Structure 1
Amino acid sequence: MVSPPTLETPASTSDERTARKAGIAAALATSLEWYDFYIYGTAAALVFNETYFATDSEVVAAVSSFATVAVGFIARPIGGVVAGHFGDKVGRKPVLVASTLLMGLATVLIGFVPETSTVWLAPTLLVILRITQGLAVGGQWGGAVLLATEYAPPHRRGFYGSFPQLGIPIGLILGNGIFLVLTWLTSPDAFMAWGWRIPFWISAVIVLVAMGIHRYLEETPEFQRVEAKMAVNTPRRSPVIQVLRHNFSTVALAAGTYLIGIAMFYLTITGSIQVATTNLGMSRSDTLWIVLVSAAVLIPLGPLSAHLSDKYGRKLIYGIGIALMGVWAIPMWLLIAHAGPGTTWPLAVALIMSCVAMAFQTGPQPALFAEIFPAELRYSGATLGYQFAAIVGGMSPMVMVAVINGQVDNIWRIGPVLTLLAVIALASLYALHLRQARTPSAA
């Protein structure tokens, strides 16, 4: 087994100013990347089930629409494999820039998918472009995380590593905020006809961020040392093959720890929209406002939990987040079942508390995933661990629709499923802890 050494960043290249610059760049990239990825999920919940996938059955339409959301998640590990290979061989920065540009192109093109009388054409185009989005985000997360963590001083790695995670709530807020504004400015018919396309066209600005990263940031000091080492050694095999051969169990356990977090997140920010608007009769604007406010909770709490992980340990804070999500899952969905057009507070409490619990896992995650793999395999290992878990997250809204099956009385059933995922995540974290305890050089 390849031992995962601690990240060591020389003080001369990792001062606070440089770390802050890298962290902000990573946050900007992930904000726009996740904006692109999330607006598809919002459009799938609000629009696609009534346009491209409309049928006589609301359940079938919703499942079909969310199935295209899930396709993007299935593609994410493939993007992670490709990006991991080049990210560990060519560098973090060029792969991050390429992934960002690919995401922008795919998202803009989604805004141009036509509504045609040819039944198969629009869904096929959506699937192709959603797969492209999945490939892009699969490669982008690892690059952004390593850009932030490998520039950070060791005692601040958790804090700066949380900057890319800020892109998750910021991207969500931007996406839902734009959809919310459009529901105000356009009539329902205009929104369904063309208004929903505007958020996709806006994503063209991501090109500017990619160019800025390319021009103003150097390769990370950690990778520069790996590159120098490779220059004098015999060329090694594919990093992806190496990490799967020597660190497969670490990848699997890392993915296992994140099952609850990724499923909880997508049910909170995407699944809840479908339940509230379709099953509970709530308005789009009320639902989007609640999701937007809930996501905002992650912005201060993510860095705070990451800071706590710098002081008290990654696994402790990360484990607290898993436990909180597992405990809250059942009350959360019982509350959601009691929400309605005139009673929005149960949904608000359910989603806000969900995001509070998630923050304790989201903040420490980048540093934790980076530290459990050696530098020469870090892009591949961290990315695969994250993206394998993401498949579960992508499937969760579709599974949710099937479990609820259009019946409000079935909504509570989602809670126990999430609690079970939390138990699996805690067991995976404990196994990961035992595995690292047997490795003297582990972080």
Structure 2
Amino acid sequence: MTQIPKAVTSAADSSGLQQTPDQRRQMRRVLWSSYIGSTVEFYDFLVYGTAASLVFGQIFFADLDPLVGTIASFGTLAAGYAARPLGGVIFGHFGDRLGRKQMLILTMMLMGVSSTLIGLLPSQQQIGAAPVILILLRIIQGIALGGEWGGATLMALEHSTSRRRGLSVAIVNAGAPTGAVLAAGIMGVFSLLPQDQFLSWGWRIPFLISAVLVAVALWVRLGVHESPIFQQAQEAAKLEAPTKKPVPLIEVLRHPKGVLLSGLAGIAPLAIQSLMATFALTFAILGGTDRSVALFAAAIASVVNMVTLPLFGALSDRLGRRPVLAGGLITAAVLAYPIFSMIGSGNTAMVFTGYFLGYGLVVAALMGTLSSFISEQFSTTSRYTGASLGYQLGATLGAGFAPLIAANLLTVGGPNATLVAIFVGALAVVSGLAVLATRESFRKDLL
């Protein structure tokens, strides 16, 4: 009889109510490493979004009208989102075959290198091909983040007890607003430079800082163990079919409903998160708010989001994923117009209030629940691939194109929030229907 390693036999316990002291200690390490890693990954990804709102139109699309240049800049932002499903498929395949931890280390290195190169990229006036190189580097960022999300999420999910999976995953997801705080805060400091210095070299420093952050995150991630549930699934597969290794993507596509519903459920949450992280800055500045004030408001609201995300994750452990997601979508549809109207008002107090409501309430309710909701739809042997593909499909369709669409809506309806609010409401309806068509998963046995 084949003996299963100790780390594997503990997997069943990790999904129950009790954990040993060693399991709890390892759980803390997993959460810390996934949180730090996600922070760095999203810092890299979102500092690009901030630069796309403030700088890239003038640096890489200087021969275009300012508003058209901003739209083109958001187009490069969309390219990164479009690449995320590819990253989910590639790293998901190997994550389901070889393990979650190895893929997390590889995606971290890939993201760090591409971000550093963006910081060193000459302007369009210096190199005519600079916009093309920028797009290629952005695509690499998208591939890296598309693979990283699944690994970080599943490490937390699969190490956690069944009663705290939502909280554990939400803590990891808090890395996104933490990365946003770093991105907005660091970019905000350098935006205080005189305009010519900011455009010539100031915007580059936040990208170069990425190299240091990546080194720290890699050091932390190297100290965690592989997912015990994944190890147990691998051992079980060897016992059942020693020579047969099913392709995770084919396994997922045999039952495409899970991927499609996951992707549709994620469109609105991910679009709203993206609008708050990128488009809201442009909208605030168009409304008359100073650039540094808008960045500071985004940073402070992201700090609030870091606290409220785990709260909604814990709430989903008690009430279920579907009620919390549905409530967040209804709130988003109702508050979209007030939130964006306040952000575009030019009044500092109103701008801060709009950001607080957007990040602290709407984004927290949606993103504090979405990742665990999607991950629980798939089996362990194909979870990395299926969850990554579903999530990144929602990211591409929602987050990737939302800022671009919103910027174009301003050219049609003028600098007001009406069309943007209608757009958000329509997305909320689509995601809400997908959530209602999906079974509740918060008590599902991952094994």
Superposition TM-score, scaled by structure 1 size: 0.92
Determine if the alignment matches structure 1 residue 78 to structure 2 residue 86: yes
| Counterpart in the other structure of 1:373 | 378
1:409-443 deviations in whole A, cap 9, x for unaligned?
A: 54321001101111111110010128x79x99799
1:142-221 to 2 correspondence within 5 Å?
142-184=150-192, 186-221=193-228
| Counterpart in the other structure of 1:236 | 245
Structure 1 unaligned blocks of 5 or more: 1-6
The whole-number CA distance in structure 2 between the counterparts of 1:344 and 1:253 is 39
Among 300, 309, 312, the alignment partner of 1:302 is: 309
| Counterpart in the other structure of 1:3 | none
Structure 2 unaligned blocks of 5 or more: 1-10
Give 1:74's aligned amino acid.
Answer: A
Give 1:415's aligned amino acid.
Answer: A
| Counterpart in the other structure of 2:136 | 128
| Counterpart in the other structure of 1:282 | 289
Asked whether the 8 Å contact 2:114–2:138 carries over to 1, the reply is: yes
Give 1:418's aligned amino acid.
Answer: V
Determine if the alignment matches structure 1 residue 328 to structure 2 residue 329: no
Post-superposition offset of 1:407: 6.1
| Counterpart in the other structure of 2:254 | 245
Give 2:435's aligned amino acid.
Answer: L
Asked whether the 8 Å contact 1:242–1:377 carries over to 2, the reply is: yes
The whole-number CA distance in structure 2 between the counterparts of 1:190 and 1:406 is 34
Q: Give aligned-pair identity as a percent.
A: 34
The whole-number CA distance in structure 1 between the counterparts of 2:245 and 2:399 is 34
Asked whether the 8 Å contact 2:40–2:214 carries over to 1, the reply is: no
Post-superposition offset of 1:71: 0.2
Determine if the alignment matches structure 1 residue 397 to structure 2 residue 406: no
The whole-number CA distance in structure 2 between the counterparts of 1:147 and 1:204 is 24
Among 374, 383, 392, the alignment partner of 2:388 is: 383
Post-superposition offset of 1:348: 2.0
1:206-249 deviations in whole A, cap 9, x for unaligned?
A: 43245324531111101111221233313233101210122x11
Post-superposition offset of 1:118: 6.0
Give 1:317's aligned amino acid.
Answer: V
Determine if the alignment matches structure 1 residue 348 to structure 2 residue 352: yes
Post-superposition offset of 1:367: 2.1
| Counterpart in the other structure of 1:430 | 436
The whole-number CA distance in structure 2 between the counterparts of 1:314 and 1:92 is 24
| Counterpart in the other structure of 1:4 | none
The whole-number CA distance in structure 1 between the counterparts of 2:304 and 2:79 is 28
The whole-number CA distance in structure 1 between the counterparts of 2:122 and 2:85 is 29
CA distance 1:12–1:345, shift in 2 (3 Å): same
Determine if the alignment matches structure 1 residue 311 to structure 2 residue 313: no
Q: Single out whichever of 392-401 and 98-107 deviates more from structure 2.
A: 392-401
Post-superposition offset of 1:119: 6.1
CA distance 1:83–1:14, shift in 2 (3 Å): farther
Asked whether the 8 Å contact 1:9–1:221 carries over to 2, the reply is: no
CA distance 1:178–1:13, shift in 2 (3 Å): same
| Counterpart in the other structure of 1:418 | 424
Give 1:152's aligned amino acid.
Answer: S
**For 1:49, what is the secondary structure of its paired residue?**
helix
1:22-51 deviations in whole A, cap 9, x for unaligned?
A: 111100000000000000111111111111
CA distance 1:323–1:9, shift in 2 (3 Å): farther
Asked whether the 8 Å contact 2:309–2:365 carries over to 1, the reply is: yes
